């Protein structure tokens, strides 16, 4: 039995004594303890070594006191398992030197045996569950098929992912073939995470908001729907599709237990779109954590008030920035934990 199951109860819609809190990208570069490990081991070495992934995953639980741990890994381990080379360039980001551009490139991609290619993730999850010793739940995750296609086709980060979009608009059949292969891999991968012990799963569609509402349905949501349908009866699932507020109603209808929202939508409006029977997660502007601590405390309270008690998990609207001071992250978490509904 978990000692702190606030997030699980909130995802079920149960009343809780307070709002739970965690931060996207909470295991990462703002923590000196993470930097110390980063200076010794390469990125994928950290992901592939269960003892390192475990240590990094638990750091924010000990250091900032969040109500959940999120597996230390990356969404790009899936394209890697599917046969693409993925590099992580220091302070630049991901680089895929041979991206998918044509039907010939697609022949290099496969739906892999996940135990063979991603077994290290399952081993890490088992170790983390053991080390957490039921203190807080463990969140597993995967990238949404659309967001993974963005990297697999564009080959690197981008503000617009125009080459990925052009691929989908000019070679739709190929795009859908690739999206289905990613979906099939992701379902097997997430089922493996559940079997290994993940308590909650989050699907990161970081670039969902780059699509029009119609294209979001066509290129993203129809694949997310398949994933949620395959896992929702085993563990609660949270969909975070950044910028895709226009489809909160459709995302709520997938059977997900929670929806992540960014800071560009009012909580009241998100609630209206998503309906009352789903938990919302978010939506503090990550850059606001650079404000003085009293400002952070005040703004966190304003956020909590806007969401109201119940059906809300406090979080950032996107990942924590590397230049956030640790005591600012802690102020964010503590303000949520200490907040009293009067
Ligand atoms: O060496 C380093 O420290 C590199 C920085 C880093 C880290 C800490 C990368 C490279 N990935 C990660 C870990 C990571 N990535 C986690 C760990 C768990 C956590 O604490 O949250 C998670 C959940 C991710 C997910 C991820 N990777 C997403 C989705 C979430 C989001 O922030 O939008 C995306 C888009 C990626 C790709 C990626 N990997 C790394 C970077 C810098 C990026 C983003 C590049 C870009 O902006 O295009």
Q: Give the CA distances from residue 234 to residues 46, 59, 61, 255, 296, in Å, rounded to whole numbers and listed in that order.
A: 28, 27, 25, 12, 36
Interatomic CA distance for residues 176 and 101, integer angstroms: 13
Question: What is the mean pLDDT of the segment spanning 119-138?
Answer: 98
* pLDDT of 230 higher than 90: yes
* pLDDT of 104 higher than 90: yes
Cβ 259 vs Cβ 252: under 8 Å: yes
Supply the residues annotated as catalytic: 25, 29, 38, 74, 151
Residue nearest to atom 1 of ligand 1 (CA): 43
Residue nearest to atom 41 of ligand 1 (CA): 93
pTM, full prediction: 0.97
144-192: per-residue pLDDT in tens?
999 999 999 999 999 999 999 999 999 999 999 999 999 999 999 999 9
List the domain boundaries for the chain: 6-338
321: which DSSP letter? P
pLDDT on residue 5: 98
Tell whether ligand 1 has an atom less than 6 A from the beta carbon of residue 43: yes
| Token representation of residue 74 | 């990356």
Assigned CATH for 6-338: 3.20.20.210
**Helix 326-338 with 293-307: angle, nearest 10 deg:** 40
Side-chain-side CA neighbours of 213 within 13 Å: the count stands at: 7
Question: What is the mean pLDDT of the segment spanning 22-29?
Answer: 96
280-308: per-residue pLDDT in tens?
999 999 999 999 999 999 999 999 999 99
Cβ 271 vs Cβ 310: under 8 Å: no
Atom of ligand 1 nearest to the CA of 202: 23
Atom of ligand 1 nearest to the CA of 93: 42
pLDDT on residue 92: 87
């Amino acid at each position: 039995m978990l000692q702190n199951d606030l997030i699980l109860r909130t995802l079920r819609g149960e009343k809780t004594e307070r709002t739970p809190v965690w931060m996207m990208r909470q295991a990462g570069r703002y923590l000196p303890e993470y930097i110390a490990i980063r200076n010794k081991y390469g990125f994928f070495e950290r992901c592939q070594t269960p003892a390192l992934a475990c240590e990094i995953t638990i750091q924010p639980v000990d250091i900032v006191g969040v109500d959940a741990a999120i597996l230390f890994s990356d969404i790009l381990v899936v394209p890697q398992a599917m046969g693409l080379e993925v590099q992580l360039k220091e302070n630049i980001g991901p680089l895929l030197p041979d991206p998918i551009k044509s039907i010939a490139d697609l022949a290099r991609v496969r739906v892999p045996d996940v135990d063979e290619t991603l077994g290290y993730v399952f081993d890490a999850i088992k170790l983390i569950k053991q080390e957490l010793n039921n203190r807080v739940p463990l969140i597993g995750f995967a990238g949404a098929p659309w967001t993974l296609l963005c990297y697999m086709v564009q080959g690197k980060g981008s503000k617009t992912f125009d080459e990925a979009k052009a691929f989908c608009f000019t070679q739709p059949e190929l795009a859908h073939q690739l999206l289905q292969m990613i979906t099939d891999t992701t379902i097997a991968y997430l089922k493996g995470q559940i079997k290994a012990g993940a308590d909650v799963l989050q699907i990161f569609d970081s670039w969902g908001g780059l699509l029009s509402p119609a294209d979001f349905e066509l290129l993203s949501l129809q694949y997310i729907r398949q994933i949620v349908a395959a896992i929702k009866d085993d563990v609660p699932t949270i969909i975070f599709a950044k910028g895709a507020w226009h489809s909160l109603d459709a995302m709520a209808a997938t059977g997900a237990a929670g929806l992540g929202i960014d800071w560009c939508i009012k909580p009241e409006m998100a609630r209206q779109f998503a309906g009352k029977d789903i938990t919302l997660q978010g939506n503090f502007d990550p850059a606001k954590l650079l404000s003085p601590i009293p400002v952070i405390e005040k703004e966190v309270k304003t956020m909590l008030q806007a969401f109201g008690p119940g059906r809300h998990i406090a979080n950032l609207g996107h990942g924590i920035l590397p230049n956030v001071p640790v005591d600012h992250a802690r102020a964010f978490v503590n303000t949520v934990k200490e907040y009293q509904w009067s």
